[in-house]
Structure 1
Amino acid sequence: MMHVSVSSRPINTETLIQHHDAAFRYFGGMPQECVYDQTKLVVISEIFRELTLNQRFHQYATAVGFHIRACEGYDPESKGKVEAGVKYVKHNGLYGEAFANWHELERYLADWLDNTANQRLHGSTRQQPRAHYEQAEKAAMLPYLTPSCIQASSAESIVTRKSDKTGLIAWQGNKYPVPMAYQDSRVGVVNHNGQLRISDSPTGEIIAEHLIRLEQGQTIKNTDHYRDKAQRIAALETDIQQLLDDAEHGQALCALLKASAPRIYKDQLVGAKQVLAAHCQQHGRIHPSLLTLLIDTPRLTAAGLRDRLEAWHSHPQRYRETDTVLPRRTSSTVLKRYGALSKRCSDQGTSHVIH
């Protein structure tokens, strides 16, 4: 008789232990000895057939009372039966199937085990696996109870917590922060392998993750949760427009910065504000011809803005040259340029709002 466990994430030692627990409860007992290949989840190393076991898994095996036996390295013959079972699950149970979500896959496998895999006529014993297990093997199984060392982590049940007005939730004697938008709201909380996962209750979307502290009475801080990034960006855009003393050119400059580096737009605004503030303090307002040329460049970053300003001040005669070559931009021309840059931002999955 077989049991199948699946995982939506890479399998670690804790997951392997939980799969053992599920299998032993399905069988109604456990064997005296379990055979493994030399996975690091069970065997760390082998020298002259002397095994160094994974400490966490060895703790579980000792707690429940079964013996670990590892196959010899590079000896596929010693685990052929295991490989045959894996092939059967892939080719008979899963081949050609499609599932809408993970829970549907789990329900399908449970039904497949009970009604197909363990009810078929086995090729070796010529008996149904479940009937053969009940008659010939179950009596030799040892009794099994889920040990306390995995009771806390075996079931990841989501519980609800209400954050206070400061954006903190209580969990096992400590307080953890949630994003500002979830202050004074109910959120889902689950302990996942030592990580506290906090999710939006209606959608299940993960909104925060924290390492669970063993000490009690701690208040964990995450300053990023207390920032309203949209308001911060809007304030920076307004500051840049004021430094330029020209709202239209300021909007176009911000759009160019966003089109050039959309993922770090806020940082670019901070840098551009510092560059412009230093320039205004040392040289006064930016020359209109220079500002027009800066906005006309295909790509501009805060560092590029600083370099271009420094280069122009190294050659002041360029001001006089551009005064005779370039006409003064009208409001409609600047806004047209701004609209084109904003569209380029939206094509990259972001948008720019005129404030």
Structure 2
Amino acid sequence: MPNELVFDQDALLMVSENAGDLILTEAFQAYREARKLKVHFCRKADPESKGRIENVVGYVKGNFAKHRIFQSIDVWNENCKSWLERTGNRKVHNTTKKRPVEVFALEKQHLKPVIKEFTISNVNSSITRTVRKDNTIVYQSNRYSVPLGTYQKDKNVYIEITANNRLIIRSQSDGPIIANHLITFERGKLIQDRQHTRDRNKGITAYIATVSSYFTDEETAMSFLEEIHSRYPRYIRDQLGIVLKVSKAAAQADRDEALRECVKRGIYSATEYSDVLAFIQRQQQQGESKHVDEEIKALHDIDSSLLDTQPETRELARYLDVLKGATV
């Protein structure tokens, strides 16, 4: 086995590139430590760093796999070994002008022995998938549903494949199960649990109650938020999130005044509530820093005597004398 392995970025191996501090999946991290391997991951979307292996994959697909009928994995492996001995490792490489079997015989001297016994125990699956906007994840070219409202920007969920061919989905690696699907071997299918499409308005009611508790007049706040809900039913969670975020950061008196102003002026929008609150906070800051009005003064002091100065006037004959009688 080699001292260092080069990998493409794959969710089975790496969770995040993390600006160079690689975060590997739990299973692969345990494997790397047990094998005492150095690993090198190619940069994302960088074909130059992985062109050689990509060409090898394309060569195997186009030369060996193309037009062959798959019968079983055992037959497929035996045919592949025969192809390697006959073609893949025997033909002269177009770039190196050498046969791979001969090059490997030289490189083999620098490899280290393989650790024969290797087991990983108590390792949980940490494979992640990104939640799409339609509240589904993609696994093996199929879409599997998750509960309505799971989607958030850059939201990842953890998946686990069980022995009885079930796909388990969790929000956290050790959290409760949010979806459980039977894996299909077809392609391009949508596997959806009807429970995942149910209305979650009960959760919205609790959310509104939580946000209204940040105001002194909770009844008025509740009516205000309910009106926002009626105007923005599809974006109510986003609207409530904005109100909650800006209210937490503001003083009690400021958010109460902002609420009164919005109700008074018929403003029922989270973004406009945020603008009103920001205006009130600016007014408060200006009031604290400036207690008295100052007289408006000119930018530059001007001597009033200069305003009475009259320019000197001369007779026209003096100019004619300078011009020596010239005319234009």
TM class, shorter-length: 0.3 to 0.5
Larger helix percent: 1
- Structure 1 or 2, whichever has the larger Rg, is 2
Of the two structures, which has the highest relative contact order with CA contacts closer than 8 Å and spacing of 6 or more?
1
